[in-house]
Structure 1
Amino acid sequence: MPHAHPHPPTKPDYLPVYTSQHYAIQEYGDCADASFIRAYIPFNPYRDDNGRVKLIIYLHGFCLGASEIYQSHLLHLVQQGYYVFFPSYQRGFCRYGDTLPATMQDLIKALFNPFPISPHGWFNNAMRSVLHAYEQTRLADAHVDTYLFGHSLGGLFALSWPALAGEKVPEALLPRQIITANPIPDSESLIPTPIRIFGQMTGAYADRVDIAHTGRALDVPVGILHGNGDILVPVKAWERPFEMIASAHKRFYCAQNDPHGKPGLVADHIQAGIDTTFIPDVMAMMSVGGIASENNLNWRYIWHALDQVVRHNTRADQLSFAMGEWSDGVPVKSVRSGTPREC
């Protein structure tokens, strides 16, 4: 007898690859001046066949600087023996507050303090924090391969790292590959048009980060993970910007909404996150494009992409995804890939 409400696929067994279940979390800097960073440090670092350790710089989305929003992914990475740096590059929201009003005040500070808004300033905050953590964790004494992962605004910053960091960081902190989840193509993409125009007229924006400029410096493999349920940054918003990425090894991936079972799988803007309980669900839908929860889109899509690149050295434009089956045996909708137009 068919299931009335098929359940989504269960979580994979990661224990075989969790070779460093013991780890430390070191905090450096100050949330008030956007220098705060969490460094996830494995007690048993993973080393590849050449003896090299792995570092992942993980860049959060706009006003999503609390690591709790992505925490199980961060722990998934450090337990595999990877070092993970998570800079909170905007002011005032580095961890979940005790009450909702305090948290909302933190979000407002992150947006409007300092004024005018400076995406280049946010990027520089992240870069400086990463440099500090790199020195404090003594990774400068190790042989390190660095990978960049970013979500939303953090995805734009990850794609812009080679252009904006350039000679400002040691060669070890330049990425071998870049994976992003639902990135924005420029730093004003998430701002509604009337507010954006008003901001431009009043001088609210000090500067701008745009893949049309920073994409020219991208010469490493790039994988962009998107979803057809993203209403904040629709797939079509990437049609022209994708062409601006200079890398010969780039690919656009697109997960599909799948309402076959209960709960359904929604490939929305917040699909990389696992927890948005710091705000009510209605507000989450309006501000971050969905309600985050850890599910199959994390395990077999977002997480699996980065796992392939870091552990298996798969090139970012050659990723594959097996999305599993609903409890009634129906396959979960597959991931499309190619260019934004092909998704």
Structure 2
Amino acid sequence: MSLAASQSWICVHVPEAQYSVYQGGSHADGTFMRVYVPESASQPGKKLNAILYLHGFALCMPSFYEAHLVELVKQGYIVFFPDFQRSFYPNTPPQAPTPPRLSQPHRQRWLAAAMQTQRPAQKTLSTEELQPLFSEVYERNDTGLSRGLSAFRTGELRRVAWALVVIILLLTVCSWFRREYGKNLIHLLSTVGLSLMHAPTEWLTNAIALTEDAWDYLSTQEPYGHWNQESLDTFAFGHSLGGLIALSLPFGLKDSPNNRFFPKQIVTADPAASTEMGIPKFAIWILKLFRSPFTADPILIQDTGQDLKQPVAILHGGSDTLVPPSQWVDPMRGQTASNYEAIASENKAIYFSYSNPENNPPLVAFHNQAVTSTQYYDDALFENFGGVKDGPNAYNTDYVWPGLTKIFMNVATPENLLSHLNTPKFQVEPTPPVKPASNWTKFAWFVGIALLLGVGFWLWKTVG
């Protein structure tokens, strides 16, 4: 393995696996990008295939998906992994271990940001003005990338900061009863707090812009100077929030249909149907109360799905509790059609993996099927935030990974994918598992039947 730096980009070459990893930008600035490039992409005259790989909410580090990213580059794909949010994750170089999380004064940090009352609300904040507010976690890098998320105003920072102070106080109370869960959820939300100053449509635009700029940079470097003359097929994959971003790429690029990153096919794992899914509801309510830009202009598949005409496969988990299957297959309140039906494509399919409690260890078809490691955080958090992963499991290797590659390689279509999957440890079906009735549901049925029988008996006695 060799490492080199060029114009603030880091390059790590992995000769035994025949690929290189390029990294530029900064999580904190909203410009972080990592690109996995196979050695085959350095050969002129060879067709290029690229995947835009989009992460879930707050899962902004490549380490959450590393095993899959490496698997894809080994198959010959150029894989672009942009952190389209802003986050305070470390800009860990490729192949280097992610440093351990440090205890941070989250409440004090956001309270200090909220108290910047001497600045006019309409004043635009520059990066140079932001950095001192978050100096202990703000890692910058002169990236060479020309774009990123837009600047925001002092008033927007105050509103979000006050909302986070309230959320952190409530989670601190929660941590008295569930210490590790509360502490880790505070860290996760605080780490992506700056993202809440931006509308999700900006996240979508940023994912596209960072990928375009990374291509422009790499195509000026040796040995990739021939890239702009080669044929390129682009595909998109996303998990959770990233799944919604992937499904919304045609909407974001509808005015640029000839863009090289207009996806040919899209595969998603446990995608959200709106940008407000997968985040604790009380946090969404508080952010709305403080008029956070994040909640003011959400992305909804009901809006973006009309522009989605290419083949689409959704690989969902039947036991997903963050984005339950019903969020896709059943019309929500106020909807005339389900979120799945809102996708305009005529070549689409949705599948649901089933849990297998009989396996050793038991397999749970939870929200984080596509994730390969959650070890940066304590398991107590991810038990409630999609599912704990300490490495790829059968849902990765038998379901999500082969589902993606078989469709992108045209071995299968979304409609016939099920016949091309081999999942001996669990079921995959086009319909979700029947959700067992909860004790409250059973109690309600019991009360309802008892009342019905009582009314029937009263009527019988009265009429008789």
**Do these two structures clear the TM 0.5 threshold for a shared fold by scoring above it?**
yes
Q: Secondary structure at 1:286's aligned position in 2?
A: coil
User: In 2, are the aligned partners of 1:89 and 1:123 still within 8 Å (CA)?
Assistant: yes
Q: Deviations over 1:264-313 (max 9, x none)?
A: 22111011011100011111112334435311111110000111022235
Q: Secondary structure at 1:303's aligned position in 2?
A: helix
The letter for the 2-side match of 1:23 is Y
The letter for the 2-side match of 1:44 is S
Q: Deviations over 1:179-230 (max 9, x none)?
A: 0000000001123333323322320224210000000000000000001121
* Aligned equivalent of 1:302: 400
Q: Secondary structure at 2:207's aligned position in 1?
A: helix
* Aligned equivalent of 1:285: 383
Matched, 1:65 2:60: yes
TM-score w.r.t. the length of structure 1 is 0.84
1:46 CA drift (Å): 10
Matched, 1:323 2:415: no
Q: Secondary structure at 1:148's aligned position in 2?
A: strand
* Aligned equivalent of 1:231: 321
Matched, 1:335 2:428: yes
The letter for the 1-side match of 2:305 is G
Q: Distance in 2 between the 1:45 and 1:258 partners?
A: 40
2:304 aligns with one of 214, 223, 242: 214
**More displaced stretch, 308-317 vs 151-160:** 308-317
Do the aligned partners of residues 73 and 172 (structure 1) sit closer, same or farther apart at CA in structure 2, a change above 3 Å counting?
A: same
For 1:21-36, list aligned pairs within 5 A.
21-36=17-32
TM-score w.r.t. the length of structure 2 is 0.63
* Aligned equivalent of 2:103: 101
Q: Secondary structure at 1:31's aligned position in 2?
A: coil
Q: Distance in 1 between the 2:102 and 2:30 partners?
A: 21
- In the alignment, structure 1 segments of 5+ residues that lack a partner are 1-19, 326-331
The letter for the 1-side match of 2:103 is P
* Aligned equivalent of 1:75: 70
Q: Deviations over 1:110-133 (max 9, x none)?
A: 432154352122222211110111
User: In 1, are the aligned partners of 2:318 and 2:433 still within 8 Å (CA)?
Assistant: no
1:170 CA drift (Å): 4.7
Do the aligned partners of residues 340 and 263 (structure 1) sit closer, same or farther apart at CA in structure 2, a change above 3 Å counting?
A: closer
- In the alignment, structure 2 segments of 5+ residues that lack a partner are 1-15, 93-97, 105-136, 138-183, 220-226, 330-337, 436-464
The letter for the 2-side match of 1:279 is Y
* Aligned equivalent of 1:39: 35
Q: Deviations over 1:96-118 (max 9, x none)?
A: 33334369687344432154352
User: In 2, are the aligned partners of 1:159 and 1:178 still within 8 Å (CA)?
Assistant: yes
Q: Secondary structure at 1:317's aligned position in 2?
A: coil
1:258 CA drift (Å): 0.9
1:29 CA drift (Å): 1.9
Q: Distance in 1 between the 2:29 and 2:256 partners?
A: 20
Q: Secondary structure at 2:103's aligned position in 1?
A: helix
Please identify the structure whose Cα radius of gyration is greater: 2
* Aligned equivalent of 2:117: none
* Aligned equivalent of 2:5: none
Do the aligned partners of residues 168 and 110 (structure 1) sit closer, same or farther apart at CA in structure 2, a change above 3 Å counting?
A: farther
Q: Distance in 1 between the 2:228 and 2:393 partners?
A: 36
Q: Distance in 1 between the 2:408 and 2:278 partners?
A: 30
Q: Distance in 2 between the 1:260 and 1:342 partners?
A: 18
User: In 1, are the aligned partners of 2:69 and 2:79 still within 8 Å (CA)?
Assistant: yes
Do the aligned partners of residues 134 and 167 (structure 1) sit closer, same or farther apart at CA in structure 2, a change above 3 Å counting?
A: farther
User: In 2, are the aligned partners of 1:34 and 1:90 still within 8 Å (CA)?
Assistant: yes
The letter for the 2-side match of 1:220 is Q
Q: Deviations over 1:8-61 (max 9, x none)?
A: xxxxxxxxxxxx9311000122222111110100002499xx953210000000
The letter for the 1-side match of 2:325 is V
1:133 aligns with one of 214, 234, 248: 214
User: In 1, are the aligned partners of 2:67 and 2:372 still within 8 Å (CA)?
Assistant: yes
User: In 1, are the aligned partners of 2:399 and 2:423 still within 8 Å (CA)?
Assistant: no
**More displaced stretch, 241-250 vs 195-204:** 195-204
* Aligned equivalent of 1:177: 265
Do the aligned partners of residues 32 and 296 (structure 1) sit closer, same or farther apart at CA in structure 2, a change above 3 Å counting?
A: same
Q: Distance in 1 between the 2:413 and 2:359 partners?
A: 33
Do the aligned partners of residues 340 and 241 (structure 1) sit closer, same or farther apart at CA in structure 2, a change above 3 Å counting?
A: farther
* Aligned equivalent of 2:197: 116
Do the aligned partners of residues 261 and 46 (structure 1) sit closer, same or farther apart at CA in structure 2, a change above 3 Å counting?
A: farther
The letter for the 2-side match of 1:124 is T
User: In 1, are the aligned partners of 2:270 and 2:316 still within 8 Å (CA)?
Assistant: yes
Q: Distance in 2 between the 1:322 and 1:220 partners?
A: 21
Do the aligned partners of residues 106 and 27 (structure 1) sit closer, same or farther apart at CA in structure 2, a change above 3 Å counting?
A: farther
Q: Secondary structure at 1:298's aligned position in 2?
A: helix
Between the two structures, name the one with larger relative contact order (CA 8 Å, sep ≥ 6). 1
Q: CA RMSD in A?
A: 2.6
Do the aligned partners of residues 131 and 169 (structure 1) sit closer, same or farther apart at CA in structure 2, a change above 3 Å counting?
A: farther
Q: Deviations over 1:46-88 (max 9, x none)?
A: 99xx953210000000000111111111111101111000001
1:135 CA drift (Å): 1.1
The letter for the 1-side match of 2:281 is T
Identity of aligned residues (%): 32
* Aligned equivalent of 2:352: 254
User: In 2, are the aligned partners of 1:269 and 1:290 still within 8 Å (CA)?
Assistant: no
1:167 CA drift (Å): 3.0
Q: Secondary structure at 1:86's aligned position in 2?
A: strand
Do the aligned partners of residues 342 and 54 (structure 1) sit closer, same or farther apart at CA in structure 2, a change above 3 Å counting?
A: farther
Q: Distance in 1 between the 2:312 and 2:36 partners?
A: 24
